[in-house]
């Protein structure tokens, strides 16, 4: 009963005048102290073009920078190289400022001339990238006060509201950005991201459609639309969009990661691993990529390979509760419950409100016959977040515990029914149906138990994992006997 926690795809909305790239897309290399390689920079003025030298050593422009913030991928001779929607090119270092220096830089400009809305917008971007969202919003407010038709500032403020999860305010700002500039493909993309965050996936897709119509070479819109299709469980459409995002930008790390997650959703773990391999090649320091590849190995029951990837994910991010939980689940699958509990302990230490850790540790406690501790952890998980799988596992425990002191058939059946109601795929997932069958048998409803267990065995994965044990349970129910663990 493995619960695997994916690290989400880094599909970050890009605003007109504000480009937030995944910071891990270009791993920094060892350079001299003054090198900007791997650094986040902000441009200092609009209208900058990037390019490369031709055979005559002349700079030939190949793209215009539509954003403010980028990650430097090369630094040489007073020029820096960045990427703009899959296109790499150089521009003068003097036209950029490092993120760590940006607030001071734009503050000096504002002190010199406080009437330029652009400087407030750029400083707002710097504050936002530093995680100071409320201060960023104040700067965007001032940019809009100075220039009420400043569409980019509305879009950027909308993104800031999105970071604060105030999605209605975000959408209101994006509406205004779109009204002011109906041809701004980025503004539509940003509003789509806000709709997606509100789980209004059809509205999100409609906005991504428009962003793509306005600019068919906009990889972020394809990637974000793919993530919306994935949320709707339209996995083939999602993969098609991720394919296009990668075609437009072959170094688009988060598109590879998102496509890998979607292949995992389709249970095509070999393709998932291949995409996570590429994500790791693009960024060997991506804890998320190692964690997600570990999940794919876990699903293939290659637990040692999974644990190795979780080890690396934890090394790169020592406070990743998801990676500790996942490694704990892998140890549980190997029946090394003491190691599993140790990892769940750490996940809970890192995040004391981690319902996943409590629910997973409860399962491990039950396997070590520490039933009182199992109950305590199940109850805490239920208080924090009564997720479907927690209710499923708790129902199975209450129905089948070897110690009759802890069996509670009526509650087990109620939990099993609620778990099935919460899980959209419960009618095809043998583990949920088997939990309901065990709970039904415990309350004496053997007809229901037989029906649910027969349906559970139609799930090929469950039938393969449980094999003879699942059939033995079915025979017990047919014989009008409950099933209890030994």
Residue 223: exposure state from Cβ atoms within 10 A (0-12, 13-18, ≥19): buried
pLDDT at residue 291 tops 50: yes
Of the two residues 53 and 189, the one the predictor is more confident about is 189
- Output the pLDDT for position 21: 29
- Output the pLDDT for position 6: 63
- Output the pLDDT for position 31: 42
Residue 358: both structure tokens together: 């409590």
pLDDT at residue 1 tops 70: no
Residue 407: both structure tokens together: 């069996």
The DSSP string of 98-167 is: EHHHHHHHHHHHHHH-TT-HHHHHHHHHHHHHTT-HHHHHHHHHHHHHH-TT-HHHHHHHHHHHHHTT-H
Residues 19-50 have pLDDT tens digits of 332 223 333 333 445 899 999 999 999 999 99
For residue 69, the surrounding DSSP H or E stretch is strand 69-71
Measured CA distances, 321 to 24, 167, 228, 235, 249 (Å): 20, 26, 25, 27, 31
- Output the pLDDT for position 85: 84
Euclidean distance between CA atoms 262 and 383, whole angstroms: 31
Place of tokens 């990892």: 343
Residue (of 269, 351, 365, 296) closest to 318 by Cα position: 351
pLDDT at residue 18 tops 70: no
The model's confidence at residue 5, banded by pLDDT at 50, 70 and 90, is low
Residue 38: both structure tokens together: 């791997």
Residue 32: both structure tokens together: 């001299």
Residues 258-282 have pLDDT tens digits of 999 999 999 999 999 999 999 999 9
- Output the pLDDT for position 15: 34
Residue 116: exposure state from Cβ atoms within 10 A (0-12, 13-18, ≥19): middle
The model's confidence at residue 365, banded by pLDDT at 50, 70 and 90, is very high
Residues 82-103 have pLDDT tens digits of 998 889 999 999 999 999 999 9
Euclidean distance between CA atoms 74 and 60, whole angstroms: 17
pLDDT at residue 312 tops 60: yes
The dihedral sign for the CA sequence 159, 314, 354, 359: positive
How much of the chain exceeds pLDDT 90, in percent?
Answer: 85
The model's confidence at residue 413, banded by pLDDT at 50, 70 and 90, is very high
> Mean pLDDT score of the chain, rounded to an integer?
91
Of the two residues 331 and 460, the one the predictor is more confident about is 331
pTM for the model stands at: 0.86
Could you give all domains of the chain from N- to C-terminal order, each with its CATH number?
Answer: 100-282 (1.25.40.10), 386-478 (1.25.40)
- Output the pLDDT for position 392: 96
- Output the pLDDT for position 424: 78
- Output the pLDDT for position 9: 44
- Output the pLDDT for position 16: 34
């Amino acid at each position: 009963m493995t619960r695997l926690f994916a690290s989400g795809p880094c599909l970050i909305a890009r605003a007109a005048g504000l480009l937030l790239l995944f910071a891990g897309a270009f791993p920094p290399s060892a350079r001299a102290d003054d090198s900007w390689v791997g650094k986040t920079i902000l441009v200092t003025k609009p209208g900058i073009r990037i390019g490369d030298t031709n055979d005559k050593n002349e700079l030939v422009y190949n793209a215009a920078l539509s954003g403010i913030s980028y990650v430097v991928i090369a630094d040489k001779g007073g020029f820096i190289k960045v990427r703009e929607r899959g296109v790499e090119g150089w521009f003068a270092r003097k036209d950029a400022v490092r993120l760590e220096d940006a607030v001071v830089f734009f503050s000096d400009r504002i002190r010199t001339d406080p009437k330029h809305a652009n400087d407030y917008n750029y400083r707002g971007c710097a504050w936002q990238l530093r995680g100071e969202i409320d201060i960023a919003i104040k700067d965007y407010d001032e940019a809009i006060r100075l220039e009420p038709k400043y569409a980019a500032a509305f879009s950027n403020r909308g993104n800031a509201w999105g970071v604060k999860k105030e999605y209605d305010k975000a959408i209101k700002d994006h509406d205004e950005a779109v009204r002011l500039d109906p041809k701004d493909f980025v503004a539509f993309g940003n509003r789509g991201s806000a709709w997606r965050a509100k789980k209004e996936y059809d509205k999100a897709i409609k906005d991504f459609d428009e962003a793509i119509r306005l600019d068919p070479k906009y990889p972020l819109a394809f990637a974000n639309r793919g993530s919306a299709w994935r949320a709707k469980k339209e996995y083939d459409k999602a993969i098609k969009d991720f394919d296009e995002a990668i075609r437009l930008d072959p170094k688009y790390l988060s598109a590879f990661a998102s496509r890998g997650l979607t292949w995992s959703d389709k249970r095509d773990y070999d393709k998932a691993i291949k995409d996570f391999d590429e994500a790791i090649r693009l960024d060997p320091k991506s804890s998320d990529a190692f964690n997600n590849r570990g999940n794919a190995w876990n699903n293939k029951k290659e637990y040692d390979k999974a644990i190795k990837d979780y080890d690396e994910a934890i090394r790169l991010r020592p406070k990743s509760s998801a990676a500790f939980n996942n490694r704990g689940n892998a140890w549980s699958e190997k029946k090394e419950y003491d190691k599993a509990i140790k990892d769940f302990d750490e996940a809970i230490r890192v995040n004391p409100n981690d319902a996943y850790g409590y629910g997973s540790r409860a399962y491990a406690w039950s396997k070590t016959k520490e039933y009182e501790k199992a109950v305590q952890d199940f109850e805490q998980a239920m208080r924090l977040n009564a997720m479907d799988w927690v209710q499923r596992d708790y129902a199975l425990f209450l129905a089948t515990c070897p110690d009759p002191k802890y069996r509670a058939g009526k509650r087990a059946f109620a939990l099993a029914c609620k778990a099935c109601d919460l899980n959209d795929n419960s009618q095809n997932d043998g583990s949920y149906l088997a939990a309901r069958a065990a709970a039904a048998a415990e309350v004496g409803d053997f007809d229901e138990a037989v029906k649910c267990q027969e349906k559970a065995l139609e799930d090929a994965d469950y039938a393969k994992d449980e094999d003879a044990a699942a059939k033995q349970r079915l025979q017990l129910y047919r014989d009008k006997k409950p099933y209890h663990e030994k």
